[in-house]
Structure 1
Amino acid sequence: MPCFKFSQVNVFSADPFLGNPLAVVHDADSLSTEQMSAIARWTNLSETVFLVEPTNPEADYAVRIFSPQVELPFAGHPTLGACHAWLAAGGRPKNVGRVMQQCEVGLVTIGNNEGGLEFAAPPLIRTGPLEPDVLNQIMKALSLSPSDIAHHQWVDNGPGWCAIMLHSARDVLALETEWATLAPLNLGVIGLHDANADATVEVRALIGDGGYEDPVTGSLNASLAQWLIPAGLVPSPYLASQGTRLKRAGNVQLREADGDIWVGGDVVDVISGKISV
């Protein structure tokens, strides 16, 4: 039975059990799509990444990203976690201080400076205000009224994100979700913390296409920043807290530089071994 190097890392928290876990299967070119999908269902994490050889000569490596349900064109915490695992396994980037990852959405630039990783958010594929029927669906699923929502926007960079901004972080944390009503929307909810809080905002990622809350979500935070910073609704840089309702303590660092949004956070090793397929 073939064996593959296997890593499990924790992303967006220095504590190994308070961020978002990611499974990584190394040198996975010989695995079929069906095998990758089966492994992702078995790990039962929000995402499992398979490191494969790139086809783009500019890329240092390529990834295929799977949830237990589907293959994803892009995801944020898998981008940082896969890069960390690739570097830890001896990967050597073509350019000092920069790693180039290939995935379905194209090339993603990852900064690697003084041991910290941050990725440049890929372009949004859908923007603009939410349609009235979508907004009504969200309000019904979360028991909100129109006055509860300060701002709303499509912020899709691959997983289909839509987003609403509430008036405070406390409002975000108080939400309860009727999953059957929210489906199939993938919704980000954000609200500002008080000025004396460590984090600037509180974020929740409600996955209607699956019926669960994601602990800490790089792709959502990236797209939220692409909306909120240019709109002047949050400063740059800022710190997003996520996972509080799930007893996690995720921290996502976001900043704008030269027209790009950069998304960073801690990544730590948790499990290292082999997986038999």
Structure 2
Amino acid sequence: MPTCDLIDVFCDGPLSGNPLGVVHGGDDLSAQEMQAFTNWLGFSETTFLLPPTDPAADYRVRIFYPGGELPFAGHPTLGSCHSWLEAGGIAKGEGRVVQECGIGLVDIRVEGESLAFKAPPLLKHEPLTDEERAAAITLTGVDEAAVIEAVHVVNGPKWQLLRLKSADDVLAAAPVTIAPVGTDVGIAGPHEAGFERDWELRAFFADALGRLNEDPVTGSFNAGVAIHLFENGLAQGSYTAGQGRKVGANGLVRCEQDESGDAWIGGRCQIVSRGGALS
């Protein structure tokens, strides 16, 4: 019988990150049943751990959100890995887990109590058109004067990034409540030097009913932002990002660029509930 773990991902204290449902033993579930359970659970994503089809992978995961299935998502990657390891999963490599998902293989590093995934290459990384920029500003409710640049940072989800002058501008944004289905747009701005976090992020997506939701902590958006910041010299080495303050969370994301230029997105995961049976 399938069971479900509830995982708190990118947490910085009890119940402070992004919740995730991870289903074990759901090999016989159809995509429709996976989608139905995801919608019922109501989290931003739910994942289903399956045997890998690629011999290089340690496990395979299918990632669902209320609007459908995703080829990749960040907090589901870390939360699924944590749940797999806690259930006794043994990786083929030392200190390294390989996840198979819709975009292919994703490397995950085990760093003590934290995990970090290698940010996948961006599938689209170019400026937004004037029309896209205007729509993103309207949807997020940011002050147009605070927008420094607007770019695509697509890595599975079709993220659009508005980089703002400051973290205060990010926190002041007042998003709309209804948006076109398929909307994935986020905002990011730097904190003043000496603050406990370096950057502040917010990310928004529309569900199947067109309601615009704010995600507590978003690994895929942080991954796209990190690649953009590192490639353009807007961040060097490593930095921390906060997300979720406007929705009652307190997420902490650690972003690092290694010697080869790859970006790694890391954070802590905690199991809140283990092994609840699905009837």
TM-score calculated relative to the size of structure 2: 0.94
> Are 2:196 and 1:195 aligned?
no
One-letter code aligned to 2:204: L
How far off is 1:145 after superposition?
A: 5.4
Residue aligned with 1:238, SS:
strand
Correspondence for 1:56 = 54
Correspondence for 2:220 = 219
User: 2: distance between equivalents of 1:172 and 1:124?
Assistant: 23
One-letter code aligned to 2:264: W
> Are 2:260 and 1:269 aligned?
no
Residue aligned with 1:137, SS:
helix
Runs of 4+ in 1 over 4 A off after TM superposition: 143-146, 181-184
Correspondence for 1:148 = 146
Residue aligned with 1:147, SS:
helix
**Which piece of structure 1 moves more, 256-265 or 208-217?**
208-217
The aligned length equals: 275
Write the deviation string for residues 173-193 of structure 1: whole angstroms up to 9, x where unpaired. Answer: 000012335664311100000
Correspondence for 1:260 = 262
> Are 2:163 and 1:165 aligned?
yes
Q: 2:78 aligns with which of 77, 80, 98?
A: 80
Correspondence for 2:102 = 104
Write the deviation string for residues 102-153 of structure 1: whole angstroms up to 9, x where unpaired. Answer: 0000000001133321000111111100011001112233444543211221
User: Any gaps of 5 or more consecutive residues in structure 1?
Assistant: none
How far off is 1:167 after superposition?
A: 0.5
Residue aligned with 1:84, SS:
helix
User: 2: distance between equivalents of 1:145 and 1:43?
Assistant: 35
Contact 2:12 2:250 in 1 (8 A): no
Correspondence for 2:173 = 175
Residue aligned with 2:274, SS:
strand
Correspondence for 2:239 = 238
Kindly report which structure 2 residues correspond to 1:123-134, keeping only aligned pairs within 5 A, or say none. Answer: 123-134=121-132
How far off is 1:17 after superposition?
A: 1.2
Residue aligned with 1:263, SS:
strand
TM-score calculated relative to the size of structure 1: 0.95
Q: CA 1:112–1:166 in 2, change beyond 3 Å: closer, same or farther? A: same
One-letter code aligned to 1:153: V
Write the deviation string for residues 86-114 of structure 1: whole angstroms up to 9, x where unpaired. Answer: 00000000011100000000000001133
Q: CA 1:144–1:68 in 2, change beyond 3 Å: closer, same or farther? A: closer
User: Any gaps of 5 or more consecutive residues in structure 2?
Assistant: none
Contact 1:63 1:103 in 2 (8 A): yes
User: 2: distance between equivalents of 1:129 and 1:218?
Assistant: 21
Correspondence for 2:92 = 94
Residue aligned with 2:139, SS:
helix
Residue aligned with 2:81, SS:
helix
One-letter code aligned to 2:247: L
One-letter code aligned to 1:107: L
Correspondence for 2:42 = 44
How far off is 1:31 after superposition?
A: 1.0
